[in-house]
């Protein structure tokens, strides 16, 4: 039993594991038992969150606690400092957070790149990347900047701030929750209502289906094989692999977000949606208003706008867009492939705005909307091949197969060999394009059921997930970011 509860690098405590289900059931019982003692309940959640983080990153939980102490102290100092001193405090906070990111996440990449340019040797250091560091450092920076902008007051209670920064549902892979949205909820000491619980359970069910039944299945049974060696497959299979990975990434990440938001609702806390049917976007600009909303809005508010946004002319706006997307790509990981992906999307955004400003984009006609959606989806899928591929050579092999070895005649054989994979991809995309209010109606219908029926549906989904899951644990993709 002690071995199960101890840190195990190969078996982190994730939402889609049986251990988490058992521990969360115990946790929620104790949480409810402490409802008459708010401070005790808060301390208990903080301790559980730190244990949850320990199961993913071992002693790195002390780094998380160090950030809590640093943020709280700097925030209180910010509240009494002069305007000029506040700028230095923010600079110190940014240096601390970005310094950690550079060391833990980018040190080996930067020195390996420098060694390649100079022709010298570099032995990569064995640096353990703290899980979720990109997410909690962004929350830390936004907290200090929002105080400086006068959008919120410094947190006066250390436990409240620890609760905000360590809260386990969004800790490892988002959403990027901002202090100005969550601290008021923490101070209000919320209690989960029946509506909260029903909606939370519905989102958890939806997230489990997306993650295990869609993302994990098509990944292990098809997508990974294509990207491991695309030259072994026809162009047709590579196209399906590219679309399959796009769907896998969406279901994996939005599934995590659904579960994180659902778990928070079970405790009485509400986060903003992180995805809004992104493949329905009619252009690249709209796509980034629908995809990973908490990150794209963070980059907009704390990077793009401070760089000047669109206030300093069209040329500066395009430069700001490209800079934001390049840094947003690099944020995803220590690989130049992510930078290429970010630069690709930066070029799409710049190109879309340039065409729109010249009036070259059609706005009327029955064909405009579906054509815009299909073109945007194809462009997004092309971009995600850069996101998934380990090297430029993989991209070269993939597109060489697509343009020189397509072989559409193998389609019947391909469908027969990968019948379930093709069915999941087609059905999942089809469901994605259904009217958005249909999902809302399904959620409301679930919420109107008696709690016993809700529990039965949850149990059935968990049983199906257990039967469908891979033999080994499949971590969420965004845990590495």
- Catalytic positions are 332
CA–CA separation, 122 vs 216, rounded Å? 36
Burial class, 479, CB count within 10 angstroms (exposed 0-12 / middle 13-18 / buried 19+): middle
Measure the CA–CA gap between 355 and 347, rounded to whole angstroms. 12
Contact assessment for residue 248 and residue 217, using Cβ atoms and an 8 Å cutoff:
no
CB 183 within 8 A of CB 165: no
The CA–CA distances, whole Å, from 327 to 82, 127, 139, 291 equal 31, 22, 17, 17
Taking CA 153 as the corner, what is the angle to CA 151 and CA 155, rounded to the nearest 5 degrees? 130
DSSP 232-298: GS-HHHHHHHHHHHHHHHHHHHHHHHHHHHHHHHHTT-----S-S-GGG-SSHHHHHHHSSHHHHHH
**Alpha-carbon span 462 to 18, nearest angstrom:** 10
Angle between the N-to-C axes of helices 158-166 and 133-148, in degrees from 0 to 180, rounded to the nearest 10:
140
């Amino acid at each position: 039993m002690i071995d199960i509860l101890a840190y195990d690098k190969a078996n982190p405590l994730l939402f889609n594991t049986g251990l988490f289900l058992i521990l969360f059931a115990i946790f929620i019982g104790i949480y409810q038992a402490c409802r008459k003692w708010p401070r005790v309940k808060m301390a208990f959640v903080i301790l559980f969150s730190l244990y949850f983080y320990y199961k993913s990153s071992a002693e790195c939980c002390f780094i998380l606690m160090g950030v809590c102490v640093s943020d709280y102290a700097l925030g209180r100092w910010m509240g009494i400092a002069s305007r000029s001193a506040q700028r230095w405090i923010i600079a110190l906070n940014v240096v601390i957070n970005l310094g950690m990111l550079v060391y833990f996440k980018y040190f080996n990449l930067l020195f390996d790149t420098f060694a390649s340019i100079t022709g010298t040797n570099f032995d990569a250091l064995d640096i353990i990347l703290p899980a979720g560091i990109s997410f909690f450092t962004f929350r830390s920076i936004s907290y200090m900047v929002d105080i400086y902008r006068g959008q919120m007051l410094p947190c006066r209670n250390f436990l409240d701030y620890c609760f905000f920064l360590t809260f386990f549902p969004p800790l490892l892979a988002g959403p990027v929750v901002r202090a100005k949205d969550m601290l008021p909820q923490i101070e209000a000491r919320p209690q989960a209502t029946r509506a909260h619980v029903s909606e939370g359970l519905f989102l958890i069910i939806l997230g489990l289906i997306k993650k295990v039944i869609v993302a994990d299945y098509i990944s292990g049974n098809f997508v990974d094989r294509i990207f491991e060696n695309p030259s072994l497959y026809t162009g047709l299979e590579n196209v399906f692999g590219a679309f399959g990975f796009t769907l896998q990434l969406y279901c994996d990440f939005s599934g995590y977000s659904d579960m994180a938001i659902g778990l928070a609702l079970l405790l009485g806390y509400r986060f903003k949606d992180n995805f809004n049917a992104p493949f329905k976007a009619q252009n690249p600009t709209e796509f980034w208003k629908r995809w990973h909303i908490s990150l794209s809005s963070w980059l907009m508010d704390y990077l793009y706008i401070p760089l000047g946004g669109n206030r300093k002319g069209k040329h500066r706006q395009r430069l700001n867009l490209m800079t934001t997307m390049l840094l947003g790509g690099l944020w995803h990981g220590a690989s130049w492939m992510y930078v290429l992906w970010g630069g690709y999307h930066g070029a799409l955004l710049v190109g879309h705005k340039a065409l729109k400003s010249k009036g070259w984009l059609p706005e009327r006609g029955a064909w405009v909307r579906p054509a815009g959606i299909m073109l945007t989806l194809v462009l997004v899928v092309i971009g995600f091949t850069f996101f998934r591929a380990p090297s430029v050579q993989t991209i070269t092999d993939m597109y060489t197969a697509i343009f020189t070895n397509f072989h559409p005649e193998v389609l019947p054989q391909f469908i027969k060999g990968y019948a379930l994979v093709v069915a999941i991809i087609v059905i999942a995309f089809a469901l994605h394009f259904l009217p958005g209010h249909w999902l809302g109606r399904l959620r409301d219908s679930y919420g109107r059921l008696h709690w016993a029926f809700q529990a039965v549906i949850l149990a059935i989904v968990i049983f199906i997930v257990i039967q469908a899951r891979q033999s080994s644990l499949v971590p969420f993709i965004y845990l590495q970011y």
